[in-house]
Amino acid sequence: MHGTKILEEADRLMTVCNSCRYCEGLCAVFPAMEMRRAFSDGDLNYFANLCHACGACYTDCQFSPPHEFNVNVPKTLAIARAESYAAYAWPRALSGAFARNGLTISIIAALSVAGFIFGFAALNDRQVLLGIHTGPGAFYALMPHNAMAALFGAAFIYAIVALAMGVRAFWRDIGEPIGMLADPGSLWQAMKDAGQLRYLDGGGVGCVNEDERPTDRRKIYLPVVLGTLGGAGLLIGPAGLLAERSKRDPALVDEKRTGMDVAFITMLFLTSLTGMALLLLRDTPAMGPLLALHLGVVFSLFITMPYGKFVHGIYRYVALVRYAKERRQAGHTV
Ligand code: SF4
Ligand code: SF4
């Protein structure tokens, strides 16, 4: 017996897959599954977070619908993954609301903070808000450096604490003592796997999106997001990921929880957009309102980060650490 219906379904599918094993070369999920004969809740959550939804095992499966076995591993693991984010989130009460209305909450948070800064500056000195400020300290005319540092320092610390609590809950759920997270060999192997985007290509052919033709577009946009800190890269990366997401075959995605996926990528896009606008218009009267808007978006990005798509990257890395560890324990070279 499992804790949720989706984990029951994941257990059923993993039992079918463990007999079939056709997909064992596609990603890390299937080799990890083959190391077990029975699956605990923690094992299934571990598989769900090892999966990156490339869709290859759905396209390749001879038991996918309309076959009576009804095997859809990507969708089942996507739902289990989203439920695991909610289960590990800290504080837990926030995760449910975010899963349902992630984008709305993010935008309201951004506009609230932007409105607060705008209102504060307007009440303080309208000339400062709508004036032209130049030079290195121009941004601090609207909001003093110390106030800005305190506001964003608090948001950043909150995000780090919430993420750390989530990782702790995940690591415990998959049955590992917390000290094992410091195993240098596994950390390094997982870092190499993540850095090389290993397993992100559906066994070498690419990800399946709108049809059954594999493509590497997600693999291309992801490093643009991760690797280009600022500028046009952070506009193109999130926009590309959102476009690819909208084209995904509905059979592969967890449609009920799009808020979690879309909110983080949208806020990343808006951070870049408002940041670029700010840089371009910093010597005009638009600088004050734009700075308030940009700070609101960045603040919202930080405080909603622990409840959205961003956590997938963290949990996936942690799942890869465990995978590296159990592969070494089983005597595999990698
Ligand atoms: S997804 Fe289908 S083809 Fe792949 S291992 Fe499972 S049952 Fe076999
Ligand atoms: S969707 Fe891709 S990553 Fe997920 S289990 Fe299937 S082949 Fe592996």
Within 8 A by CB and 6+ apart from 5, the residues are none
Instruction: Give 256 Cα–ligand 1 centroid separation in angstroms.
Output: 25
- The Å distance, Cα 301 to ligand 1 centre, comes to 38
Q: Are 245 and 261 in contact (CB under 8 A)?
A: yes
Model confidence band, residue 65 (pLDDT cutoffs 50, 70, 90): very high
Name the packing angle between helices 145-173 and 310-329 (round to 10°): 40
Residues in the chain: 334
* Structural tokens at position 228: 């280009």
Work out whether the CA dihedral 44, 46, 49, 54 comes out positive or negative: negative
Q: How far apart are CA 154 and CA 317, in angstroms?
A: 25
pLDDT classification of 108: cutoffs 50, 70, 90: very high
Mind listing the pLDDT tens digit for each residue in 10-64?
999 999 999 999 999 999 999 999 999 999 999 999 999 999 888 999 998 999 9
Lowest mean pLDDT among 16-25, 179-188, 219-228: 219-228
Q: Name the closest-CA residue to atom 6, ligand 2.
A: 57
| DSSP structure string for 124-143 | H-HHHHHS---STTGGGGTS
Distance CA 77, CA 54 (A): 11
Lookup result for tokens 């837990």: 92
For residues 236 and 76, the answer to whether their CB atoms sit within 8 Å is: no
Which pLDDT score is estimated for 217? Answer: 62
* Ligand 2 mean position, distance from CA 23 (Å): 9
Say yes or no to pLDDT of 248 above 50: yes
Ligand 2 mutation target, pool 16, 33, 52, most atoms within 8 A of CB: 52
Q: Which residues contact 19 (CB under 8 A, 6 or more apart)?
A: none
For ligand 1, atom 2, name the residue with the nearest CA.
61
Residue 226: band (very low, low, confident or very high) from pLDDT cuts 50, 70, 90: low
